[in-house]
Amino acid sequence: MKKLNKILIGSVALAILFTMLSTNTVLAAETPIDINDDTYQTRIQANNRVAFRFRLRTRLTFDSTVNIDVDINCDSLRIGVKSFEIEVDCDQDLQMNMTCTEEQAELGLLMGNRYTVRNRHRYLYQEGFCISLQCNNSGEVQAKLKIEANNQNRVGTWAYYNEATEEWVSVPTTVEDGYLVAETDHFSYWTVLIPESGNNMLLYIGLISIVGIIAVISVIFLQRRK
């Protein structure tokens, strides 16, 4: 009986130790490297997940099957608190230039602007995060783009800028583990757009109607007081 108890105690101790080590490993992998600047150059080692946090605000996470020499320019003071991830699967090492901005005026991407994309649907830009990805790779590349979902962007869609047609093109987007996710085989300017739905129009009409009713009631009330 004592021998059995010792075996059970030893098994429990090993299980606890394994859990603690696993937890510490996960936490270490998710702990970002703080960058107190807007620019940073580094090499992302293959099969090594790395996160950077610029000025304690904008978090950029890399996960790649190849080595990436990356040159990052992140306007974190304007972007604010955002969490973006990129997963890259490629057949050769990469040199990547990554630029993150709140807006892209030269592409007409300004906060609050509305756009009609290729499918003729109308979208609103309010994410405040646009990323430009440029690589020297001439081979095949597959990537996942992820940005943390919130109440504001949860119904949004990833979109890239087509320079040939000078328009934004929305792509299939899903919500996975709290992130808006899109897959792509090319790098370009990417952002998240929010679709303008009929419900939004009804909301605007409803708000205008309410304001109108309040104004009429106020006028009648003031006239009666006179």
Which pLDDT score is estimated for 219? 59
51 lies in a domain?
Answer: yes
Task: State the Cα–Cα distance between residues 58 and 79, nearest whole angstrom.
Answer: 7
Same domain, 100 and 197: yes
Same domain, 128 and 80: yes
Percent of the chain with pLDDT over 70: 73
Same domain, 13 and 46: no
Query: Which of the 8 DSSP states describes residue 153?
Result: T
Q: Is the pLDDT of residue 50 over 90?
A: yes
225 lies in a domain?
Answer: no
Residue 213 pLDDT grade (very low, low, confident, very high; cuts 50, 70, 90): low
Helix (H) or strand (E) holding 201: helix 198-225
Same domain, 101 and 187: yes
Whose tokens are 């099969």? That residue is: 47
Same domain, 188 and 123: yes
Which pLDDT score is estimated for 51? 98
Q: Which domain holds residue 15?
A: 1-31
Same domain, 118 and 27: no
Could you give phi then psi for residue 161, rounded to 5 degrees?
-95, 120
Which pLDDT score is estimated for 196? 86
Which pLDDT score is estimated for 26? 37
Which pLDDT score is estimated for 27? 36
Which pLDDT score is estimated for 216? 59
Q: Is the pLDDT of residue 87 over 80?
A: yes
Same domain, 40 and 14: no
Cα angle: 83, vertex 86, 89; to 5 degrees: 165
Same domain, 104 and 39: yes
Average pLDDT rounded to a whole number, residues 171-185: 97
Same domain, 117 and 77: yes
Task: State the Cα–Cα distance between residues 67 and 80, nearest whole angstrom.
Answer: 28
Compute CA 118 distance to the chain's CA centroid, rounded to the nearest angstrom: 22
Q: Is the pLDDT of residue 182 over 50?
A: yes
Under a CB-based contact definition with an 8 Å cutoff, are residues 59 and 79 in contact? no
Under a CB-based contact definition with an 8 Å cutoff, are residues 157 and 105 in contact? no
210 lies in a domain?
Answer: no
183 lies in a domain?
Answer: yes
What DSSP string describes 1-51?
Answer: -HHHHHHHHHHHHHHHHHHHHHHHHHHHHHPPEEE-SSEEEEEEPTT--EE
Residue 137 pLDDT grade (very low, low, confident, very high; cuts 50, 70, 90): confident
Q: Is the pLDDT of residue 99 over 60?
A: yes
Number of folded domains that form the chain: 2
Helix (H, G, I), strand (E, B) or coil at 76: helix
Average pLDDT rounded to a whole number, residues 165-191: 96
18 lies in a domain?
Answer: yes
Helix (H) or strand (E) holding 224: helix 198-225
Whose tokens are 């109607």? That residue is: 209
Nearest C-alpha neighbor of 84 from the set 29, 39, 130: 130
Which pLDDT score is estimated for 198? 46
Same domain, 19 and 65: no
